[in-house]
Amino acid sequence: MVRKMGIYAVLAYVIYGLFFYWYLFYFADTKLPFEYQGSKADPATFLNGRELMLSEEYSKIRNLLFFLSTPFEWLFYFVILLFGFSRAFKRWAESTSKYKLLQTAIYLIWLSFFAYVATFPLSYISYSLSKTYHISTQTFPSWMKDELIDFWINYGTWLIIVPVIYWLMKKSKRWWFYAWLLSIPFTLFMMFLQPVVIDPLYNDFYPLKNKELETKILTMADKAHIPAKHVFEVNMAEKTNSMNAYVTGIGSNARIVLWDTTLNQLSDRQILFIMAHEMCHYVEKHIYFGIAGYLLLSLLGLYLANRIMDWAIKRWGTELKIPEKRDIRSLPLFLMIISFLMFAASPFTNLISRYEESRADNYAIHMTKDPEAAITSFQELTKSGLSQVNPPLLVKIFRYDHPSMLDRISMLEEYEIKHRKQIK
């Protein structure tokens, strides 16, 4: 029975992978609708032939890696349970220490290590791909440093969360609700900590060096009633050629951040449009709506995880080597279910995010009234990241938390046409 379940799981993953390979490379049509051909949203108007070819190649492979990565995580956790590795991790932990907390920490380090080793090939392929297409400029030692930082941050986070969850499981059948209540202050604390503790582990952040540009940005922020004193830049040129800007943190630790690649590759007018976009997220409190939405979804997720775990252990507990839910050996099952639920929820969360990003684009163009700078900034972003202007439907649904460049540039073109009519 165990062997059959393992074979079926691997076979399902292979069929799933072949489907997405066929969908992305043979079925999906990324050509622009006829009415957009020749417009400013048409990549043929701002990319040369080689760039067009590279953007299609890179996007297809990157999208395939995305669709392969998350289900591979499910397959890994399933195999860990099916072949008794989770039971072995617990046995090794118990033979190493007599203290429960230390046993949990040892179990987690074994599980984290095996997960890292299993997923490393896909991570390295993704890194190598971005190097091949000249998106990444990061050296291998620098990339490995970031990978190890990720590993220890994830391990430290789970070292806090897992003992609490399993303690609650032993105390109450409504553990999922109490775990959710505790997750609220923890989430807010981590969001507050992110800009000043976690992000600087990866890169150096400092106030914008271009004081003339900073003055323009702060003047615009003042008009929007944003009490900003600084705009931060981060040194990303040593890692990537792509561009980005974002809002991070909450409360007094909230920051607007610009990558130095954005500063190096865009004009002041283009940067002001991007900054106006980021200011909208602050003005319309998108960060706080995002936190509220995340917490609501996490409540539903924990409830469903509890129900699914009960059902799975009752039906396949013997095959999965899980005697009961409260046993630490059930952790891979819990992580697999949470990962699946997050993937299943991504179309909804991406839809909400695309709506907020669309509002931010509208806010930015009405604030700056500079459609040329806005359109060319999106064209440059497309070029630097070799992005698809019109991604396949499933890619857009599961992967895009921003509107496609076709949607964004065509909206700006409509504004530009209306603006010209108003001037006349």
Residues of each annotated binding site: 277, 281, 357
* Annotation says 278 is catalytic: yes
Strand partners, 256: 247
Question: Cβ distance 276 to 368 under 8 Å?
Answer: yes
Distance of alpha carbon 245 from alpha carbon 227, whole angstroms? 19
Return all residues near 100 (Cβ < 8 A) that are at least 6 apart: none
Annotated binding residues for Zn(2+), as ranges?
277, 281, 357
Q: How far apart are CA 302 and CA 341, in angstroms?
A: 10
Instruction: Write down the catalytic residue from 73, 233, 356, 361.
Output: 361
Which residue do the tokens 């890619």 mark?
395
CA distances from 356 to 58, 138, 294 (A): 27, 31, 15
Q: How many residues does the chain have?
A: 424
One-letter amino acid of 72: F
Whose structure tokens read 């990303």? 236
Strand partners, 248: 255
Please give the Cα distance from 127 to 135 (Å, whole number): 9
Distance between CA atoms of residues 12 and 14, nearest Å: 5
Q: Which one of the listed residues 278, 356, 370, 407 is annotated catalytic?
A: 278
* Residues that are catalytic: 278, 361
